[in-house]
Amino acid sequence: MTNEMRILLIEDEEAARTLLERMLTLSGYKVLSASLGSDAISIMEHENIDLIVSDLFLPDKTAIEILQESRRISPTTEVIVITGHASAETAVKAMKEGAFDYITKPVNFDELKLVVAKALEKQHLLSENLYLKKQLKGRFEFSNIIGSSQSMKLLFERISRIAKTDSTVLITGESGTGKELVARALHFNGARKLKPFVAINCGAIPEMLLESELFGHVRGAFTGAIRDKAGKFEAANNGTIFLDEIGTMPQHLQGKLLRVLQEQKMERIGSNSPIKLNVRVISATNLDLEQQVKQGNFREDLFYRLNVIPLNLPPLRERKEDIRELTAHFLEKCCRLMGKEPKAISRQALEGLEQYYWPGNVRELENLIERMVALSDGNVINIDDLPPGFCEKGESQSGRSFELTEAGLNMVTVVAEIETSLILQALLMAGGVKARAAALLGINRTTLVEKIKRLKIEK
């Protein structure tokens, strides 16, 4: 950050105010100062302020009141509270009202510089993200796609270009990265936004039922077909169909899907009457389809038909700068849906989240926040509320690397240890529900059950 960033310092003690102002100025910031809350509010109304550093108790106002006024005047401005009255109650109140952090007196300037830099970095990223969203307003709504990192800004820009077309899109990315959110953004902000958006998870429907779900059937087509039924393609006609987990589709259905895409028409099971289609196809997978093609598990001609415009979503571990913003979003959302008072998260707990590997990506983060909101006491989520393993360094997590020495290693044992660790984490996050745990790991439930048996994992 440079002196472009403007800090409002509010401190009624002249000596402390002068010292802090000089130190912040020497660090390269533009500093405005006030000794009274009323003067500070006047400055906020006439100046663009990026960060407020305020003493907790002023002669005419408290920092909490200053914070509330700043939310009214400039919602994105961050606030750091300096207090000589360090108590859990003070911290909870400040964090509950939305303070970025608090520092106790006597002020350690190295600590203050670090907290100021983090607060200004967050404010800068939020401002950039708001600007980008404002530029795209009227064309796109990204309210459910959160992120200010460079990779997410590039993703937003790419979505904006793709949505203008009617081309077939293949979205790739690990489980939990938000592939369906992106598919919905492409549809609801494109030319077909007033037409149906129909999603189907190809990996969640038994093979014997998937063909009927996709293409429908007529009465008497098979045992149990007691009436005509329209499939997902018919339901999506003139709109968009989203084929999630396309890589799990059985090969005999891959051929039928290819014909539908080529001919833009289909027949229900048991019928010889073709139905004309005008459907945009967006598919998604967490598998490497090119590798699946090489292994003979996926048709090459279908892959090229689906992969007209590829769109890859980055895993959360590659955009960890978004974790703070995502956490704030999910905290607000979960508290609102559960009817709870707003909760904040401590700096130590947030650092624990930032150190974690996130094999389940954004979905895993949201599930964790939901569980902590439901189970934690008080209004601040602390480091003790995190599950075991969240505060370990990356070397000890599933993303660790192994170095092969001349002594060698037992690769079977190492792989088994990694699989066991990931499966236990997934079961914990999914509350023991194997289907959810399998989804977090990007495998099907049957595979997970087989691994649990083979590895002798105790639930």
Render pLDDT for 149-195 as a digit per residue (tens, 0 to 9): 899 989 988 998 999 899 999 999 998 999 999 999 999 888 898 88
Of 284, 297, 72, nearest to 183 (Cα)? 284
User: Residue 129: its pLDDT value, please?
Assistant: 66
More confident residue, 102 or 393: 102
Contact 369, 330 (CB under 8 A): yes
The third-level CATH classification (topology) of the domain covering 404-459 is: Arc Repressor Mutant, subunit A (1.10.10)
Tell me how far apart the alpha carbons of residues 78 and 67 are, in angstroms, rounded to a whole number: 9
The helix (H) or strand (E) run that includes residue 136 is helix 109-136
Model pLDDT, residue 289: 92
Write the CB contacts of 76 (distance below 8 Å, at least 6 apart in sequence): 123, 126, 127, 130
pLDDT, residue 395, reads 41
Instruction: Determine the pLDDT at residue 87.
Output: 57
pLDDT in tens, 119-157: 888 877 776 666 555 544 434 455 568 888 899 989 988
- Both tokens of 118, joined, read 């983090």
- Give yes or no on whether 6-131 and 150-312 have one common fold: yes
Supply the DSSP symbol for 79.
E
What are the structural domain ranges in the chain? 6-131, 150-312, 317-401, 404-459
CA distances from 101 to 78, 279, 329 (A): 9, 50, 17
| Rounded Cα–Cα distance for residues 1 and 264 (Å) | 54
Q: What is the pLDDT of residues 206-233, one digit of tens each?
A: 888 999 999 999 988 888 888 888 999 9
| pTM for the structure as a whole | 0.60
Q: pLDDT by residue (tens digit) across 52-94? A: 999 888 899 888 888 888 888 887 788 988 887 655 566 667 7
Task: Please work out, in degrees rounded to the nearest 5, the angle formed at the alpha carbon of residue 39 by the alpha carbons of 37 and 44.
Answer: 90
Residue-level length of the chain: 459
- Is 266:274 a contact under the CB 8 Å cutoff? yes
Sequence-distant (6+) residues with CB within 8 A of 260 are 215, 233, 266, 277
Bridge partners, 78 (sequence order): 51
pLDDT of residue 99: 87
The 10s digit of each residue's pLDDT in 297-330 is 999 999 999 999 999 999 999 999 999 999 999 9
Domain at 317-401: CATH code: 1.10.8.60
Give CATH superfamily name and number for 150-312.
P-loop containing nucleotide triphosphate hydrolases (3.40.50.300)
Residue 86: count of CB within 10 angstroms of its CB: 12
Would you state the pLDDT for residue 397? 47
**Residue 8: is its pLDDT beyond 90?**
yes
What CATH superfamily is the domain 6-131?
Answer: Response regulator (3.40.50.2300)
